[in-house]
Structure 1
Amino acid sequence: MAASNGGGGPISAEAAAALGEGIRLVFGRWTALQMAVENQWGGRDSRAKADQFGESIHSWFCRSRGPHYFEDLVDMMYDTISDSFNADFEDNSVEEVAEQLLIIHEECLQSNYSSIEKLRNSHVQGNAVSQSRQIAADDDDSDSSDDDDGASMMEDEAAAAPEEMLVDRPRPSRPAPDADGWTVVPPRHGGRSRGRN
């Protein structure tokens, strides 16, 4: 394999066009990004923001002199996702996409378009948006279960001690503040038993 584009030589028009197509193909299959667009996380112009995102990465590869570092690309992508879609993709997809884009760029510099060809040929098989819907449904289940865990734990506590909540017990009179304005709060009764299962 040839050396990395450490020199950052100019990219040919053919390679630049192929790189642009490669970026579009990768972005079209990037589930988290397609979810952000479909659900309009970036507002009504989410599609345009995603297109601009791809163009800015294309420009970064084609106009900035190398070397092009993985960390720089990842940082730029996270910043754009945060700014454009008010989101933070925590599924490691940013790193995966960045790695794929760097490989495609490297291949384009060598007039090797095999990765783009593979994407082009396999693009028909997978539809990122329908995959997104499936993953979104799975994520909703896991997210809601995370949220529900907290809620169900509270519900379990409430269900475990309904007598405490429903039975009218005489409440101790509220302690009066002392001369300095401090109020001594008595310990809660029954607080220890909640920790045991």
Structure 2
Amino acid sequence: MAVIDSTDYVEAQEGSKSLKFPIEKQQANFELGVSMIIYSWEALDIAVANQWGGAQSEAKRDWITAIVLDLFDEKIVDVELIEETILNAMIDEFDVNVEDDSSLIIADRIIKIYRKCFDQDYKEVHELYSKWEIKQKERSARNLNITINEDPLNPDSSDDDDDDDEDDEEPSKITGEPIDEDVEMGGVDEPQGPIVDDDGFELVQKKGKKRN
């Protein structure tokens, strides 16, 4: 690993009150770049995947991105400050003490991406975003690629289990809507036999659910 200077910093230009970019495109690309760098942090990714921060783990990752960006409301930000901020966030929100140098690398990359955006060079930001999109698609594909292997001793068991699971599943858990007891309990009227008039002709009945 290349030697990283923890004292490396960026400073606002003379006359500027903060490190935020005056041009909207610059600021938008910088925010995206910081987000993609935070998302690429393996220690944080593992914590989110295992929900070590609880059900709000994904939201907490976005919050970490936000507090890093808030640092740039000041006139000077250095690598050490960013590293300290994300390390404290990992302890507070995920109860994880990151002891490797990955936090230092993340902080250094954020300083470097700021300089790239300052020069209006967005190539690396776009590359980071493309890599993230590919990773998301791969994860989605893995989640969808679920196969059920048949039991060689009882080949029909898998299908039977699936049917049982579907019968046991509450509609409200599938649709997100409350269960309508009248519809659920009422069902469809039992089919009636043919009706024959006095002359022996069969009357045609309307199909459908009988309404009271």
Match of 1:114 in 2: 123
- SS for the counterpart of 1:88 is coil
1: CA distance, partners of 2:70 / 2:33: 13
CA contact 2:34–2:65 (8 Å) conserved in 1: yes
Paired positions, count: 126
Match of 1:46 in 2: 57
- Of the candidates 33, 49, 54, which is equivalent to residue 22 of structure 1? 33
- The structure carrying a bigger strand percent of its residues is 2
Match of 2:186 in 1: none
- Of the candidates 106, 110, 113, which is equivalent to residue 101 of structure 1? 110
Q: Which amino acid aligns with 1:103?
A: K
2: CA distance, partners of 1:37 / 1:26: 15
Structure 2, unaligned runs of 5 or more: 1-8, 140-212
Query: What TM-score do you get using the length of structure 2 for normalisation?
Result: 0.53
Query: What TM-score do you get using the length of structure 1 for normalisation?
Result: 0.57
Match of 2:89 in 1: 80
- The structure carrying a bigger helix percent of its residues is 1
2: CA distance, partners of 1:44 / 1:120: 25
2: CA distance, partners of 1:9 / 1:37: 29
**Residues 79-123 of structure 1: per-residue CA shift (max 9 Å, x gap):** 111111111112211111111111111211222212212212333
Shift of 1:4: 4.2
The percentage of aligned residue pairs carrying the same residue is: 22
Of the structure 1 ranges 7-16 and 67-76, higher mean CA displacement relative to structure 2 is found in 7-16
CA contact 2:38–2:65 (8 Å) conserved in 1: yes
**Residues 41-79 of structure 1: per-residue CA shift (max 9 Å, x gap):** 111111111111101111212x12x22111111111111
1: CA distance, partners of 2:56 / 2:19: 35
Structure 1, unaligned runs of 5 or more: 131-197
Regions of 4+ moved over 3 Å: 6-10, 121-127
CA contact 1:6–1:68 (8 Å) conserved in 2: no
- SS for the counterpart of 1:68 is strand
CA contact 1:5–1:106 (8 Å) conserved in 2: no
Distance 1:125 1:9, change over 3 A: closer
Shift of 1:13: 2.0
